[in-house]
Chains A and B, each alone.
Chain A
Amino acid sequence: MASIELTKELLKHFNISEYKQANPGGQKTVFIVNIDNKKYALKIINFADDRFEREVKICKQFDDNKGIPNIIGIEPFEKNTIIIEEYIEGNDLSELIKDYKGNEQKISQLIYATATILIPVWNAKYVHRDLKPQNIRIRNNGEPVVLDFGIARALDDESITATGVQPYTWPFASPEQYSGQKNLISYRTDFFCLGIIAYYLYTNSLPFGNNRGEIYKAFQDDKLIVNSGNEYIDTFCNNVFKKNPSERPRKIELFLKLIEL
């Protein structure tokens, strides 16, 4: 991981006493920082425009949603945008996948709880569009928290994608994201991604291939059918793994019913 140092100016400006980089960095670099003896997640986005103000406004609507971290502040700094966010104790789901292997009960509960967090978001016509194990944080009591809502949205802006950087992460992206059909992105994109996560947790392997090329090829097929070795997981996955979003569950209630064990 390319380690990035925070400048003295930045540390001083935000009153940071300690920090640790949390991801490899790129368009967005995440640090866990200490301010006044309290932990926060600090996200540096390498551009500054009004996009995030809009996104933050959207996120504010969901401030009382326990499953989405609160945003404490946002401001432009040194040509970047800095977002300071409530720190969520616990682990990334990506660190815990072994605990879920072969455990459909646990997976069902997790996906159900994650979808429940997103209900008001979907109902308000927003889409996360970058759901993946690194973006789901598991509190010590087992409850999930969905990270990066809003950021995924803003990073998916035309002007960025046009530069060739894809904001979504290839292993957990949907067919419409692979084919760049933005007009087909909706809550049903998140349904698909939650299907990939369920499959991945159950088998600890990816459903459609292990690299971009393989997945791209798999998505050329009209019928996407998987076999995880578990009937429940397969029923859920094969109902959401429809290449055409129009064929995926139409109502959130239907989607939730499918996950319920």
Chain B
Amino acid sequence: MKVTHVLGHNSNWNVDSYLGQNIGDYFLIIAFSHGINYDSKPLLKKVLDVSMIDLQFYGKNTDIQTGKLTEFSFHTSNINTKENTNVYFEKCAQQAIEFQIEKNFKNIIIPLFYENDEVNDIIYAIKTLNKYISKLDNKNHKFFMTLPLANHIIIDKDKIEEILFVCTEMDICFDGYFIACENKPETRKKLTTDIKIFKNLTRVFKTLKQQEFETIYAYANWDAIIYLAQTDIDYITIGTYENLRNFDIKRFTEDISGGGSKGYYFSEKLLNMVRADDVTMLNDTGNINIIKNEKNIFSDIILKDGYPWNIHKPDVNKNYLFTISKILQRVASISDLEFRKEYVLDLIDKAIKNYNYLEENRVYLNNESSNYHLNIWKTYLANS
């Protein structure tokens, strides 16, 4: 498993943490943020040979903010509504593939145009692009087909089977799939607690792996560990800002919202993000050790008294990158899947105990800082 940095806004944190602290193994360049000249940026040049690019055909310019996407002449964000979308899209996708081949990316991500997120359109695109790739007969690159799983698809097991059915047919020649999933967490929650999503997304990863495809979990959040607990995944992305960890089909903006937010502390001991204000309170009540990440320089810096918390501080973000990549690596290193699941269940158990301990000591965390997710994780995993 390769921990893969998503390079969006403030990519320097990712690249620095990779070069300086050895965090992560691979990179996913976001076309939205970096545009056509991504490869002349000194920062990105340092990691180009371990990078892939998502050209993000997730919508057309009427319903998305286009950022730097329109710089790519073949991008669907340039679409003129009068044009026949299917034919137009096919051409765009083929040019996007050619572009990546020319730029010599080892892993090529075949974009899937998300015009009307219906299963039949996805199936049609998979079939046509598969035909195109089979004719290319190119063995020097690996081809990953994008599967953008809209919320109405991922919660429906029949729709998922229709897609997996086509993805695993005998004449499919993709090397793997690039999977982005629209989780739609409830407000004031960062993660979904929809058990249908756990079940169906697990099936997606498991089935594709079992059928010997490589899998990329793109725009993943830290709940990636419950999928990784049950099957190997070849690439899992880690991202700094919220929008890089929470895929939304209709909106792919460089949303650095929470502009005023002080940020969050990701705790390996709670398997959760704790709001900066809650961190202060934990500090004041002498409970900080219950949530403190071990052997983590970034955490050490930001937990110091009087730290000026802010969502745009590198250490706040690097604490997440470091902590989650450590957990993912540890989980993936356990090759026996039974043991792996036990290990993750144990992590969850410990986190639940830490929450309980805090409550016994009259410290109550609210909203996203609270334990709204662990009991569901545990129940789901223990019974899967």
Instruction: Give the interface of A toward B (CB within 8 A).
Output: 122, 181, 183-184, 186-187, 244-247, 250-252
Q: How far is the CB of B380 from chain A (nearest CB, A)?
A: 14
* Residues in B neighbouring A181, C-beta threshold 8 A: 158
Q: Is the CB of A250 within 8 A of B165?
A: no
The 18 sampled A-B contact pairs (Cβ below 8 Å) are A183-B162, A183-B165, A184-B162, A186-B165, A187-B170, A244-B161, A244-B164, A244-B203, A245-B165, A246-B161, A246-B164, A246-B168, A246-B211, A247-B211, A250-B169, A250-B172, A250-B211, A252-B170
Within the complex, the shortest CB–CB distance from A43 to chain B, in Å, comes to: 31
CB B123 to nearest CB in A, in angstroms, measures: 9
State how many angstroms separate the Cβ of B173 from the closest Cβ of chain A: 12
> Which residues of chain A are near B172, meaning CB under 8 Å?
250
Most buried by B among A186, A187, A250: A250
Give the distance in Å from the alpha carbon of A246 to the alpha carbon of B211 in the complex.
9
Per-residue CB contact flags for chain B residues 205-239 toward chain A (1 = under 8 Å, else 0) read 00100111000000000000000000000000000
Whether B167 is near chain A, meaning CB under 8 Å from some CB there, is: yes
Least distance between A185 CB and chain B CB atoms (Å)? 10
Contact A184 B165, CB 8 Å, known A246-B207, A247-B207: yes
Interface size class of B (residues with CB under 8 A): 10 to 19
In the bound complex, CA of A252 to CA of B164 (Å) = 18
CB of B154, distance to nearest CB on chain A (Å): 15
* B164 contact set on A, CB distance < 8 A: 244, 246
Which chain B residues have a beta carbon within 8 Å of chain A's beta carbons?
A: 158, 161-162, 164-165, 167-170, 172, 203, 207, 210-212
Would B168 and A250 count as touching, CB distance under 8 A? yes
Q: Is the CB of A250 within 8 A of B170?
A: yes
Which residues of chain B come closer than 8 Å to A252, judged between CB atoms? 170
Determine whether the beta carbon of B165 is less than 8 Å from that of A246. yes
Top 10 nearest A-B pairs (CB, nearest first) are A246-B164, A246-B168, A246-B165, A250-B211, A250-B168, A244-B161, A246-B207, A251-B170, A247-B207, A245-B165
Task: Report A-chain residues with C-beta under 8 Å of the C-beta of B212.
Answer: 250
A244 to B161, CA, bound (A): 7
Q: Which residue of A lies closest to B162 (CB)?
A: A183
In chain B, what residue has the closest Cβ to A183?
B162
Q: Please, which residues of chain B bring their CB within 8 A of the CB of A183?
A: 162, 165
A244 to B170, CA, bound (A): 15
CA distance A244 to B165 in the complex (A): 8
- Nearest-neighbour CB distance to chain A for B283, whole angstroms, equals 47
**In the complex, what residue of chain B is closest to A246 when comparing beta carbons?**
B164
Q: Do B207 and A186 touch across chains, with their CB atoms under 8 A apart? A: no
Q: How far is the CA of A184 from the CA of B169 in the complex (A)?
A: 11
A186 touching B169 in the complex, CB below 8 Å, given contacts A244-B207, A247-B207, A250-B211: yes
Most buried by A among B162, B165, B203: B165
When distances are taken between beta carbons in the complex, the residues of chain A under 8 Å from B203 are 244
Instruction: Please report the C-alpha to C-alpha distance between residue A250 and residue B168 in the assembled complex, in whole angstroms.
Output: 6
Bound complex: CA of A186 vs CA of B162, how far in Å? 12
Instruction: State how many angstroms separate the Cβ of A255 from the closest Cβ of chain B.
Output: 10
Taking the closest CB of chain B, its distance from the CB of A256, in whole angstroms, is 12
- Measured in the bound complex, the distance between the Cα atoms of B165 and A186 in whole Å is 9
CB distance from A160 to the nearest CB of B (A): 24
* Distance between Cα atoms of A46 and B47 in the complex (Å): 69
B162, B169, B172 interface centre (most CB from chain A within 10 Å): B169
CA distance A251 to B165 in the complex (A): 13
Whole-angstrom CA separation of A245 from B158 in the bound complex: 12
**Shortest distance from the beta carbon of B362 to any chain A beta carbon, whole Å:** 44
A184 touches B211 (CB 8 A): no
Minimum CB distance partner of B211 in chain A:
A250
A246 to B208, CA, bound (A): 9
Q: In whole angstroms, what is the CA distance A246 to B167 when docked?
A: 8
- Chain B residues with CB under 8 Å of A247's CB are 207, 210-211
> Which residue on chain A has the smallest CB distance to residue B172?
A250
A247 to B210, CA, bound (A): 8
The minimal Cβ–Cβ distance linking A236 to chain B, given in whole angstroms, is 17
| Alpha-carbon distance between A99 and B84 when the two chains are bound, in angstroms | 61
Q: With the chains together, A187 CA to B168 CA distance in Å?
A: 12
Complex formed: what's the CA distance from A187 to B212 in Å?
Answer: 19
From B123, which residue of chain A is reached at the shortest CB distance?
A183
Distance from A92 Cβ to chain B, minimum over Cβ atoms (Å) = 30
Q: Which residues of B contact A122 (CB under 8 A)?
A: 170
Beyond the given pairs A244-B207, A250-B212, 17 more chain A to chain B contacts, judged by CB atoms under 8 angstroms and listed by A's residue number, are A122-B170, A181-B158, A184-B161, A184-B162, A184-B165, A244-B164, A244-B165, A244-B203, A245-B161, A245-B165, A246-B161, A246-B164, A246-B168, A246-B207, A246-B211, A247-B211, A250-B169
